[in-house]
Amino acid sequence: MTAMGRGDLHQPQRALNRPRDGVVATLGPEGTDAHAEALRHFGQVVLTETFDAAVRSAYESDTYALVAAGFVERTGRDVSDMWVNIHFRNLDRMHLHDVWVSPTKQMCLATRRTGRPDTARSIALHPATQVFADAFAPAGARRQYVDAKPVAVRLVAEGQADCCIASVDIAERHGLRIHHVFQPTMVWCLYGPLPDREKT
């Protein structure tokens, strides 16, 4: 086995078996990292409100679901779902078809045009990006958890949060001010129908 250098993680890794002409369900709305990653590998993408809904949609339609291994969902302060739960819930329903590493879209801390991160009292974020909120936003800023980064952008644009962890392209589209820019990697899990599943 060849060791993978740190720099190699910034290039999408070759997947073993991605059906490029197939249909995949993943997390929406338009503009999520999951949406962008799905478009790189599939001809048709179905966007759902949650990753769990994506897996259920794939199961019901006998197609594929793309789930981020870093997925975390919160209800208030409590963690209500995560990738490992989805994986175990579907062991007898879906097959882990492929896994790969790929960079996300560029992310940032964003505010409204007149905003400043150091005076922010609230930050909207997807729970999986908590580490970036801790790094770039004031420790006392109230955390407002959302299901997808585009939703966090909308909250800032509408004045319901002072700043957010966002994808740069979506923040710019909504006229937000970009402060810190970074680009982590994500592990992606592709689920497909069980090989021996009976057709109904």
State the DSSP string of 83-106. Answer: HHHHHHHTTTTEEEEEEEEEE---
pLDDT for 15-66, tens place per residue? 445 566 689 999 999 999 999 999 999 999 999 999 999 999 999 999 999 9
pTM score = 0.83
Instruction: Give the C-alpha separation, 170 to 152, whole Å.
Output: 10
Domain ranges of the chain: 18-104+185-193, 107-182
Query: What end-to-end distance do the CA atoms of the chain give, in Å?
Result: 41
Domain 107-182 in the same topology as domain 18-104+185-193: yes
List C-alpha distances in Å: 25 to 48, 54, 64, 99, 126: 7, 5, 6, 16, 19
What CATH code is assigned to 107-182?
3.40.190.10
Which residue is listed with tokens 């739960």? 85
Q: Please give the chain's pLDDT, 200 residues, in tens.
A: 223 233 344 444 444 455 666 899 999 999 999 999 999 999 999 999 999 999 999 999 999 999 999 999 988 778 899 999 999 999 999 999 999 999 999 999 999 999 999 999 999 999 999 999 999 999 999 999 999 999 999 999 999 999 999 999 999 999 999 999 999 999 999 999 887 765 54
Q: Which CATH superfamily is domain 18-104+185-193 in?
A: Periplasmic binding protein-like II (3.40.190.10)
Instruction: Give the C-alpha separation, 95 to 22, whole Å.
Output: 16
